[in-house]
C-alpha cells in the first residue's frame, strides 16, 4: 500500500500481529474443544492462551509507540471512538438477545413447565441480599470513573484518577467474589429448566465482561502511573470507562429482571395477591 502524504489518516506499515492473533485464536478454539473432550491436557490449552497474550501485548505496544510519535491525530482518534461505540453496541445486542430469551420464556411459560414461572422447585436468589450490594458496588464504581474522568480534564494526573480507577478495580473483584459465592450456594444449576439456563448464561457472560473490564482498568491504572495520559490525550482511558459503564448498566437490568421482577420479590408478591401462593417456592 502506498502512503498518501496528504491523507488525514495514518496508514501503518505491514504488521504480523493480525495474522499471529488469528492463528492463536484458531489454535485456542481447537485446543478448547479437545480439552473439553479430555483429548489433551490443560497445557495444550495454556500454550495458545499465552501466545495470544504475547501477541496482544506486542500489538498494543506498537499502538502506544504510534501515539508517542504523534501519528494519531483527531481523525484517527475519531475512528477509534466509532469503533469502540460499534463494539459496545454489538455487545449490547448480544445481551438483548439473552434478555429476550428470558422474557419470552417467563411471560409465556410452556406446558412442560405446567405454565408456571419460575418453574416449580426453582428457588430464586433473594434480590435484597448480596445481589443488591453488588449492584451498589458497580454503580458506585461508575461514579468514581466519572470523577476520575473529570479530574483528567482538570489536569489532575496523579491523585484522583488513580484513586477512582483503583476503587473501580476493587469493586469489580468484590463483585466477582460475591458472584462466585452465589453460584456455589444456588440450589439450581444450568440444567434446571430454562430459568437456570438463562440465569447462568446471562450472569456468566456478564461476569466474563466484568473480568475483561477489570483487566482493562488495571492496564489503564498502570498507564496512569506511567504518565501515558494527559488532558487532550486519554481516549484509552475514556474507552475503558465506556466499557465499564456498559457492564454496570447490563447488571442493573440483570438484577431488576432476574432478582426482582420475573421470579423475584415482586413476582412472589404478585402470586400471593392472585391467590397462587402454593406455587411459590420461597427464595434462598
CATH number of the domain bearing residue 214:
1.20.120.80
Measured between alpha carbons, how far is 103 from 95 in angstroms, rounded to an integer? 12
pLDDT band for position 205 (50/70/90)? Answer: very high
| Cβ atoms of 204 and 176 closer than 8 Å | no
Same domain, 129 and 84: yes
Quick check: bond before 245 cis, omega within 30?
A: no
Neighbours of 284 (CB within 10 A): 13
Domain boundary (56, 71, 86) is at: 71
* Grid coordinates of 117: 414461572
Domain boundary (71, 93, 109) is at: 71
Cell 411459560 belongs to which residue?
109
pTM of the model: 0.82
Domain boundary (71, 99, 120) is at: 71
Does some domain include residue 144?
yes
Instruction: Give the number of domains in the chain.
Output: 2
Spell 33-44 as b/e; 16+ CB within 10 A means b: eebeeeeeeeee
Does some domain include residue 7?
no
- Give the number of C-alpha atoms closer than 13 A to the C-alpha of residue 52, restricted to the C-beta side: 13
Does some domain include residue 150?
yes
* Grid coordinates of 161: 484518577
Average pLDDT of every residue of the chain: 82
Measured between alpha carbons, how far is 121 from 187 in angstroms, rounded to an integer? 9
Does some domain include residue 6?
no
- Cα dihedral: 255, 256, 259, 262 (round 10): -140
Q: Which of 72-76, 84-88, 120-124, 130-134 has the lowest mean pLDDT?
A: 120-124
- Give the number of C-alpha atoms closer than 13 A to the C-alpha of residue 6, restricted to the C-beta side: 0
pLDDT band for position 1 (50/70/90)? Answer: very low
**pLDDT of 162 over the 80 cut:** yes
- Residue predicted with more confidence, 192 or 184: 184
Same domain, 64 and 166: no
Does some domain include residue 187?
yes
**pLDDT of 275 over the 90 cut:** no
Distances (CA, A) of 274 to 123, 195, 271, 279: 20, 22, 5, 11
Same domain, 133 and 210: yes
Q: Which residue range is the domain that position 30 belongs to? A: 13-71
Amino acid at each position: 500500500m502506498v502512503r498518501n502524504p496528504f491523507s488525514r489518516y495514518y496508514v501503518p506499515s505491514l504488521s504480523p500481529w493480525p495474522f499471529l492473533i488469528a492463528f492463536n485464536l484458531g489454535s485456542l478454539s481447537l485446543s478448547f474443544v479437545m480439552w473439553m473432550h479430555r483429548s489433551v491436557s490443560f497445557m495444550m490449552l495454556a500454550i495458545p492462551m499465552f501466545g495470544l497474550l504475547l501477541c496482544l501485548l506486542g500489538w498494543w505496544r506498537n499502538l502506544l509507540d504510534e501515539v508517542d510519535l504523534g501519528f494519531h491525530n483527531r481523525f484517527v482518534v475519531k475512528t477509534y471512538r466509532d469503533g469502540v461505540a460499534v463494539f459496545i453496541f454489538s455487545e449490547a445486542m448480544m445481551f438483548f438477545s439473552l434478555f429476550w430469551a428470558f422474557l419470552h420464556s417467563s411471560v409465556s411459560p410452556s406446558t412442560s413447565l405446567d405454565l408456571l414461572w419460575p418453574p416449580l422447585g426453582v428457588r430464586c436468589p433473594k434480590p435484597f441480599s448480596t445481589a443488591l450490594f453488588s449492584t451498589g458496588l458497580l454503580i458506585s464504581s461508575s461514579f468514581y470513573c466519572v470523577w476520575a474522568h473529570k479530574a483528567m480534564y482538570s489536569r489532575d494526573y496523579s491523585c484522583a484518577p488513580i484513586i477512582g480507577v483503583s476503587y473501580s478495580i476493587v469493586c469489580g473483584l468484590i463483585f466477582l467474589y460475591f458472584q462466585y459465592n452465589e453460584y456455589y450456594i444456588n440450589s439450581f444449576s444450568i440444567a434446571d429448566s430454562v430459568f437456570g439456563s438463562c440465569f447462568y448464561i446471562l450472569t456468566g457472560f456478564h461476569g466474563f465482561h466484568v473480568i475483561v473490564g477489570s483487566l482493562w482498568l488495571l492496564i489503564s491504572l498502570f498507564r496512569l502511573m506511567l504518565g501515558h495520559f494527559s488532558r487532550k490525550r486519554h481516549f484509552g482511558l475514556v474507552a475503558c470507562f465506556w466499557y465499564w459503564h456498559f457492564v454496570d448498566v447490563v447488571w442493573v437490568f440483570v438484577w431488576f429482571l432476574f432478582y426482582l421482577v420475573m421470579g423475584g420479590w415482586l413476582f412472589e408478591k404478585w402470586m400471593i395477591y392472585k391467590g397462587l401462593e402454593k406455587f411459590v417456592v420461597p427464595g434462598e
